[in-house]
A and B are shown apart, each in its own frame.
Chain A
Amino acid sequence: MLDVRRISTSRWWHKKKSWFFFGIFVFLVFVRISKGSFYKDFYYFISKPFWPGQFQKELILKSIDQESLVKLNLLKKDNVRLRKILSLQESSSKENISAAVISRKTGGWWRQIILNKGSKDGVEIGNIVIGPGGLLGRVNDTSLFTSSVTLITSPESKLGVWVDRIQINGLLVGLGDDLPSLILYSKDADIKVGDFVSSSPASTLLPPNIPIGIVQSIDKTLKSKKTAKILLLAKPQVIDWVQILKVNI
Chain B
Amino acid sequence: MNKLFTKKSSIFCFIFIPIIFLWHPNWLGFLGVQPYWPLFWLLPWSMINGSMNGLIFGLFLGLILDSLTLDNNFTQIPGLILCGILFGRIKLHSDILVGHFRHGLICSFGSFLCGTLYFLQILFRNFSDLSFLLFIPALKNILAEVFLTGLFAPFICSQLLIIFKFSKRKLH
Contact = CB atoms under 8 A, between A and B. Distances in A.
Interface of A: 103-110, 112, 114, 140-141, 148, 150, 154-156, 173, 175-178, 181, 183, 219, 222-223, 225, 227, 237
Contacts of B34: 105, 107-108
B69 A110 contact: yes
A237 B137 contact: no
Contacts of A109: 71, 74, 115, 118-119, 122, 138, 141
Contacts of A110: 69-71
Contacts of A175: 134-135, 137-138
Contacts of B31: 107
A156 B33 contact: no
Given A106-B32, A108-B32, A155 B137 contact: no
Interface stretch (B19-27, B94-102, B150-158): B19-27
A141 B31 CA distance: 27
A127 to B, nearest CB: 14
A103 B134 contact: no
Given A109-B141, A156-B74, A225-B130, 11 more contacts: A103-B24, A104-B24, A105-B22, A107-B144, A108-B33, A108-B34, A109-B138, A140-B70, A155-B122, A156-B72, A177-B140
B122 A107 contact: no
A148 B70 contact: yes
A155 B133 contact: no
A222 B133 CA distance: 10
Contacts of A177: 137-138, 140-141
B70 A223 contact: no
Nearest to A103: B22
Contacts of B29: 107
15 contacts: A103-B22, A103-B23, A105-B69, A107-B31, A107-B33, A108-B33, A109-B118, A175-B135, A176-B135, A177-B137, A177-B138, A177-B141, A222-B133, A227-B131, A227-B134
Contacts of B73: 156
A177 B70 CA distance: 16
Contact of B70 (A104, A154, A181): A154
B145 A108 contact: yes
Contacts of A227: 131, 134
Nearest to B136: A175
Contacts of B23: 103
B70 A150 contact: yes
Contacts, number: 82
A100 to B, nearest CB: 15
A105 B141 CA distance: 13
Nearest to A223: B130
A31 to B, nearest CB: 61
A18 B24 CA distance: 79
Nearest to B19: A103
Contacts of B115: 109
Nearest to B36: A108
Nearest to B114: A109
Given A109-B118, A112-B70, A140-B70, A155 B32 contact: no
Contacts of A225: 130-131
Nearest to B26: A237
A104 B22 CA distance: 7
A150 B73 CA distance: 13
A222 B118 contact: no
Contacts of A114: 22
